[in-house]
Amino acid sequence: MILSIQHACDVLIVGSGAAGLSVALSLADHSQVIVLSKSNIKEGSTRYAQGGIAAVFDEENDSVDSHVQDTLIAGAGLCDEDAVRFTASNAADAMKWLIDFGMPFDRLDDKSDGEYHLTREGGHSHRRILHAADATGEAVQVTLVDAVLQHPNIHIFEDYNAIDLIKSQHNPEHALGAYVYNCQTKRVEVIKSRFVILATGGASKVYQYTSNPDVSSGDGIAMAWRAGCSIANMEFNQFHPTCLFHPDAGTFLISEALRGEGAKLVHADGTPFMHQFDERGDLAPRDIVARAIDFEMKRLGQDCMYLDITHQSNDFIIKHFPNIYRKCRSVGIDITRQPIPVVPAAHYSCGGVVTDKHAKTDLDNVYAVGEVAYTGLHGANRMASNSLLECIVFARAAAQHIQSKLNSADYSEVIPAWDESRVTDSDEEVIIQHNWHELRLSMWDYVGIVRTDKRLQRALRRIELLQQEIHDYYSNFRVSNNLLELRNLVTVAQLIVLCAMRRKESRGLHYNLDYPDMLPEAKPTVLNPNDLNS
C-alpha cells in the first residue's frame, strides 16, 4: 500500500469561489489556510454571476426592512426571517469590506469617490444592486483572487477534488480533515485541519441543461451528507429564466438586469406575454418567469422565447451590458436591433447543508458557506443578487466564529491513510460517461421546472439503480475525477427527489401538478441521514 501524502493546516477550505476566498481572507491573518480548488482558482460559478450584489446604499429611498420584505416575498413564505434580517443588516458592511480589497463597483460618474450606480432586478422594490457592468461575479473573483495570492498564510491547491471528510474515531461530531484527489498525480492525499469549510457551490450539473460550470457537481452537499449532516430544501432548484439559446453559445446567461432596465419577454412576433402571468410583468421573481417561458414554449411548440431591449439606445446597451452585447454579436445577434433568444436552465440550488448563523453544520468543526449551504435566506426561491451577498456575509460570520475557537481546537488524533490495496485501475471509463448522461437526462425530464408524483417516482427508481452501479464501481476501482463527481451527483439527485416527494404542495420553485395549491403552513424539508437509514 502506498502511503498518502499528508498536509496540515488550521483551516481547510474546499472551494475557491466568493465564499471560500472570503473565508480565507477573513482568517489568514491569524491562521494557516489551505484553499482547495477543483480546477483553476479563477474558475467556478462566482465568475459567471452577471447581475450584482444587493445591499442598501441609498438610505434616503431604501431600507433594510424593505430588502427583508422583498426577500421574504420572493421566498414564497419559506424564508427564515432571522436569517434574512441577519443577511440584509450585514450587507452594507460586507460590501464595504469587499470594496476595501478593490472591488470596482460601477459609479454614477467616472470619479473614484462618486456615488455607486444602483440597478434593480426582479423581486426588488428599489434600486439596490451594486454591480460591475454586467460582469460582477468576474470582478468579485478577480478582486478576491488577487488578494488571496498576496497573502503568505493562504496556500492554494489547484486541480484537487475533495473525496470525503475524515471523521474522528473518538468523537463522531468532529472532523479531522479530508481525503483529497490530486488530479495531476492521480493520487489520493490527506489534509489534516482543525476546521473544514465547505464552499463548493451548488449542484446544478445534475441537470442536462444548466448555466453552471462543470465544477458544480454538488460535492460539498454529498460529502456533508455522507458525514452525517442534515440537508434541507433540495427540491428548490432555481432555473434561470433567460439562458442564451444558440448552438454556439454554450451556457451563457442573459442577466436579469436587462429586465431591470425595461427589457420585455416576447414571442417570436414581438408580442409581450409576462403580464398574463403576474402583475409585476417582466420584473416578477425568477420562478414565475421561468415557468411562464416554459409554459409558452410548450404551448406554442417553440424552442425558445425572446428578450427584447431594443427600446434602449445603442450607447446605453453597450455601456451597461458590454459582455452580453459582445457574446451575442459573436453568434450573429445584435441586441441593439434584435431580440435575444432565451430558454430556462438549471441555475441555483436554494437548499443545501443545514447551517446556523455562524455557518456551522451539525459537525462541531465543519462549516458550509455559499450555495452549498441552507441558511434559510432563500426560502422557496432565491431573489436576484442575494447569492453573492450570502457568500460574503456568512463567510465573515464563519470566520469570526472559527477565530474564537482556533486556540482550543483539538489537533492530536492520527488520521488513517487512504487504503486502495483492494482496488484496480478501471478499463471501462465509458460506464461513467453513460451513467452521467443517463442521470442528468432523467433529472431534466422528471424533476425539472414542472413535476408530478409519477415523474418523481420514475426518477427515484432510475437513481437507485444508478447508485448501485456507481457504488460497485467505486468499491472496485481506483478513484478518478469523473467518478468522484458522478458519485456526488447521484447522491444529490437522490436528495432532490426525496425532498420533492415530501413536499405535498406547489411553492416557489417547486411546482407539482398533483398538488397545485400552496399549504397554509410553510415548513422546510429537512432530511437527516440517520432518519433515512433507521
Active-site residues: which are they?
A: 286
Alpha-carbon Rg for the chain, nearest whole angstrom, is 22
Residues 6+ apart with CB under 8 A from 441: 208
Look at phi and psi of residue 137 and say left if phi exceeds 0, alpha if psi is from -120 to 50, else beta.
alpha
Beta bridge partners of 223: none
Beta bridge partners of 181: 161, 188
Q: Nearest Cα to 435, choosing from 459, 412, 462?
A: 462
Q: What angle do CA 272, 277, 280 make, to 5 degrees?
A: 80
Q: What's the CA gap between 41 and 191, in Å, rounded?
A: 18
Q: What's the CA gap between 222 and 231, in Å, rounded?
A: 10
One-letter identity of residue 23: V
- H or E element in which residue 400 lies: helix 387-403
CA distances from 82 to 62, 69, 356, 511 (A): 20, 12, 11, 26
Q: What's the CA gap between 463 and 500, in Å, rounded?
A: 14
Distance from CA of residue 96 to its chain's centroid? Answer: 23
Q: What's the CA gap between 282 and 83, in Å, rounded?
A: 28
- H or E element in which residue 293 lies: helix 286-300
Cβ atoms within 10 A of the Cβ of 117, count? 18
Q: Nearest Cα to 201, choosing from 391, 398, 55?
A: 391
Q: In what order do the strands lie in the sheet with 373-374?
A: 373-374, 352-354, 231-232, 526-527
Cβ atoms within 10 A of the Cβ of 57, count? 17
Beta strands in 85-186 (DSSP E): 118-119, 129-130, 154-158, 160-167, 175-182
Q: Which three cell numbers stand for residue 342?
A: 432565451
Q: What's the CA gap between 237 and 495, in Å, rounded?
A: 12
At residue 489, φ and ψ (nearest 5 deg) are -65, -40
Residues 6+ apart with CB under 8 A from 491: 218, 221, 222, 225, 226, 467
DSSP-derived secondary structure letter, 512 = B
Sign for the pseudo-dihedral over CA of 231, 402, 105, 63: positive
Helix, strand, coil share (%) of the chain residues, nearest 5: 35, 20, 45
Helix segments in 30-63, DSSP class H: none
